[in-house]
Structure formats: C-alpha cells, structure tokens
Amino acid sequence: MIRNTIKQIEKMIRIDHYPEQFAHVEFNGVTIDTRKIEKGNLFVPFKGEQVDGHRFVEEALNKGAAAALWQKDVPNPPLGLPIIVVEDTLIALQELARSYRSDLDVKVVGITGSNGKTTTKDITASLLGLKYKVQKTEGNFNNHIGLPLTILGLEGDTEIAVLEMGMSSIGEIEFLTKLARPSAVIITNIGEAHLQDLGSRERIADAKLEIVKGLMDNGLIVYHGDEPLLFERLKSFEGNAQQSTFGRFDYNTLYPMDIVQTDTGSHFKVNGLPYEFELPVLGTHNILNALAGMLVAHYFGIPYEKMNEAFSTLKVTNMRMELVEGSNGEKVINDAYNASPTSMKAAIELVTSLSGYEQKILVLGDMLELGPEENSFHYGVGQEINPDQIDYVFTYGKLGEYIADGAKGNFPEDRVHSFLDKDVLLQKLKKVTNAQTLILVKGSRGMKLEEIVQKLQK
C-alpha cells in the first residue's frame, strides 16, 4: 500500500498547506472510514450532503491515523495536528491514486458489465494467482471512491491487480479506466441494470465500452461475443488491441461444451481442449464468467491445463449462487446480492437443470433500476417460468407481484404466491418444504432477501 511522508505527497497532489512541523510524518494506507482505521493510515474525509466526514478527523487521529486531509472550504481545521489542506478531498484522493498507480510496476485487469463482474473478478484473480502475486477489488469498491482506495491499497510487489469497474452513468467507467490503465479488460455482458439511468441497452453498451479508453497499447479486450451490441461496436475499434470472445456459440474464441451441473458446481469442456474443467460455482452463466477469466489468464501465460488447480480452491464473494442447507435439510441457492432480468432468468435456468430433488421452489424479489418498463420486465420473467420444472413461485415486493401475475398464466393458482411481508412468506414457504426441496432466493440488493435465507437456516 502507499507509504509516504506528508512532504513527499506534495509531488503527487496539489496541497494548499500543512503544518511544517509534520512534514516528515509518514503514513501508510488510506481510509475514509473511522471504523476501519489502522495505525498509520491517512484519513480522507468527504463533505457529504447528509454527513460531513470532517467531523471525524480528530477521532481518526486519536484512533491511530498518522495524518488527515481537510477540504479548504470547510472552516476551522483543528490546530496543532497533521492536517493537510487541499482544494477538494475527493479529487485529492483520486489524484493520489493516479500518481501512485504511475509509480507501480503492476499490470491491471479491468472488469465491467451489467452482471457477473464480481464473480468474474474472483475467478480471474484465482487463475492469475497460479503464477503471479495478485490483488483484487475487495467487496464493492468499484466506483470513483472505491477504485482509488483499491489502487492505494496495492502492495509494491503486486504483479497483477484485478479491478472491478462499476457505473451508473455515462463517463464514469472512462474515468476509472484512465485512472487504472489496464493491460486487459473484460466486458461480461450487457443487461438491463441501469436502464432507469441510461434509458436503453445501447446506451448501457456505450457506457461499458468506455473501459477500452484506458487500455494500454497492445492490450487485450475480452467480451461476451453473443452480444451484438458489443460485437458491432468493437468491429470499428481503432486501437491495436487483441480481441477475444467468450459465449455459448461456436463462433466465439472459447465456448463451453458437455456442461453438467451438480450440487457441488459445474463440469464442462471447452472447444479445442481435451480435458474437463470443474468449477465449484453453479450456473451456465458462471461458466461463461470463467471463460472470460480463462482468456485473460492465458494471455498472461497461464496454461489451460493448469487452470483446474485454481478452480479447486476458488472462493467467490458471498450471496452469488451460494448453496447452503436449511434447518430441515432443504438446499437453498442464495443469489440475493443482485438481480436483473438476465441474471434472474439464468438462475432459474440453473434450478431447472439440477436433478435429484422432489420439488423446486423460486423465491424472487423486486429487480430495481429497470426504468419505465420495469413492470413488463417482471411480468416477462414470470411468464417464462415452466410449471413442469418448478413447483412453487413465491415473490416478495411490489414489483414481485408482476412476476407472480406473469406466472399465474401457466401455473395453478395455489402454486404461485405473492407477499409484501417476509415473515408471512417464510411461514408459507416452510409449510411446503422438506429435505428434498431446492429453493432459489434471488432479488436486488435493496430487497435484502438474504434475511429469508438466514431464517431458513435457523
């Protein structure tokens, strides 16, 4: 992680002033949260609409921070403390990360997409770890604050950083990728997330493709080749990058074959390779995420025949296709971290493909940020649920009611239930489950459906 004196960072960012007696105070690492202060950190406060982080500067220093930034237009900086006054603390954080990135001899892999970014990040980092010292974005630190913090947390001997890049509007990914300067980028897919902000899938594709604007010379672009919006736009890419694709169909650089889903994960082969891969993550969509990571790993010199070594120890971030057991022996797929029509249909497809269960139940919540067509997106998901493969559909939330309405056209009425109260849903759910039941729980992050999973485990 970054390790400098106050005096040294004068060459990295614009500083208004600081007390001269603290010029040689050294800090290591950067934090914006007083609850996560580690001894010697640089604390960066932000002037928010609701809470002003400058209120916590003295607390941060008392907890062990070595120094703190202070925004110039905030009055009354504390005296006699190692306070570095800057024009804007957010810009100072970003510029500090940009300068530190320039000092590092590190390759960067940038990952964006509507769905699957975090799982793809986890898989890619695991594969690259077979040969390199790798660091990756932790949690959801993938925006204009989180990505600079991730860069500032990179160790000096890190060889490859795998960085997730999220967005909600045009221009955000361009800023992140130009800050990170990746040698390889992955675009997982173009879905419906952010339709509320961007208005169309075409605009979403444009926003995700900003990631190539920061790509280093002779880099690699890996993208979902089944997506025409990506394929058509990248045909006219004028840079000198190599392009590779992954997808379900045989026109891609890599595509999966002989897929078998089990409770423990996914087994598959890949075109042109003689061996089977074993991925301890459920879902064909996660096999595609793995193919993206495999293409990047191979670009960095990892042989395909060694990749099962990384898969065998792979740990993915919680609440992404996480299989757990309920208190009555029922199996629960916890995929409650996020949801869009694309990812929800993929999760339902997985449930229908798994064998060995007497019954299968869907617990589906609202999918958020889908814009003016949100009702029809939910209704369409319900319409596509096959009553021959799914026994019950339970929905939670106002928008979830549209999923239920769509399903009722195909299901008997007593097999589709809609709820606005999680406890009532849970009571009804428990009445129809047993040890031979498979339950999928999926919804947007704001619906907090992991609470249902947790109560099923008690």
Q: Burial, 243: exposed, middle or buried (Cβ in 10 Å; 0-12, 13-18, 19+)?
A: middle
CB atoms within 10 A of CB 293: 30
Per cent of the chain over pLDDT 70 is 99
What residues does 30 pair with on adjacent strands? Answer: 42
pLDDT of residue 451: 95
pLDDT band at 358 (very low <50, low <70, confident <90, very high): very high
pLDDT of residue 318: 74
Average pLDDT, the chain: 93
Q: What is the DSSP string of 235-304?
A: HT--S--EEEEE-SSTTSSB-EEEEEEETTEEEEEETT--S-EEESS--HHHHHHHHHHHHHHHHTT--G
CA distances from 430 to 41, 329, 330, 368 (A): 48, 12, 10, 27
| Domain residue limits, the chain | 3-90, 104-311, 322-456
**Neighbouring residues of 343: CB distance < 8 A, sequence distance ≥ 6:** 115, 116, 191, 285, 335, 442
**Domain 104-311 superfamily per CATH:** Mur-like, catalytic domain (3.40.1190.10)
pLDDT of residue 126: 97
The architecture in CATH of the region 3-90 reads: 3-Layer(aba) Sandwich (3.40)
Task: Give 323 or 269, the one with higher predicted confidence.
Answer: 269
Q: Burial, 124: exposed, middle or buried (Cβ in 10 Å; 0-12, 13-18, 19+)?
A: buried
pLDDT of residue 34: 92
Would you say the C-alpha torsion 247, 253, 257, 261 has a positive or negative sign?
negative
CA distances from 327 to 23, 124, 322, 349, 437 (A): 59, 34, 16, 25, 12
- Residue pointed to by tokens 């006699």: 80
Q: Is 194 a residue whose pLDDT tops 70?
A: no
pLDDT digits (tens, 9 = 90+) for 359-409: 999 999 999 989 889 999 999 999 999 999 999 999 999 999 999 999 999
Q: Is 201 a residue whose pLDDT tops 90?
A: no
Q: Is 237 a residue whose pLDDT tops 90?
A: no
Are 117 and 194 within 8 A, CB to CB? no
Q: Quote the CA–CA distance of 232 and 318 in Å, as a whole number.
A: 34
CB atoms within 10 A of CB 287: 23
pLDDT band at 2 (very low <50, low <70, confident <90, very high): very high
CB atoms within 10 A of CB 320: 21
Q: Quote the CA–CA distance of 418 and 316 in Å, as a whole number.
A: 31
**Neighbouring residues of 369: CB distance < 8 A, sequence distance ≥ 6:** 193, 194, 195, 196, 197, 444
Q: Is 436 a residue whose pLDDT tops 80?
A: yes
For helices 374-383 and 341-353, angle between their N-to-C axes, nearest 10 degrees: 10
Locate 81 and state its tokens: 């403390």
Domain 322-456 matching CATH 3.90.190.20: the answer reads yes
pLDDT band at 141 (very low <50, low <70, confident <90, very high): confident
- Report the chain's terminal Cα–Cα distance, integer Å: 41
Side chain identity at 228, as an amino acid letter? P
Q: Quote the CA–CA distance of 339 and 323 in Å, as a whole number.
A: 17
Average pLDDT of span 14-43: 95
Q: Angle at Cα 320 formed by Cα 243 and Cα 332, nearest 5°?
A: 145
Q: Is 317 a residue whose pLDDT tops 80?
A: no
Locate 311 and state its tokens: 């898969």
**Neighbouring residues of 281: CB distance < 8 A, sequence distance ≥ 6:** 119, 123, 265, 266, 290, 314, 316, 320, 321
pLDDT of residue 447: 95
Q: Is 196 a residue whose pLDDT tops 80?
A: no
pLDDT digits (tens, 9 = 90+) for 254-291: 999 999 988 888 999 999 999 999 999 988 999 999 99
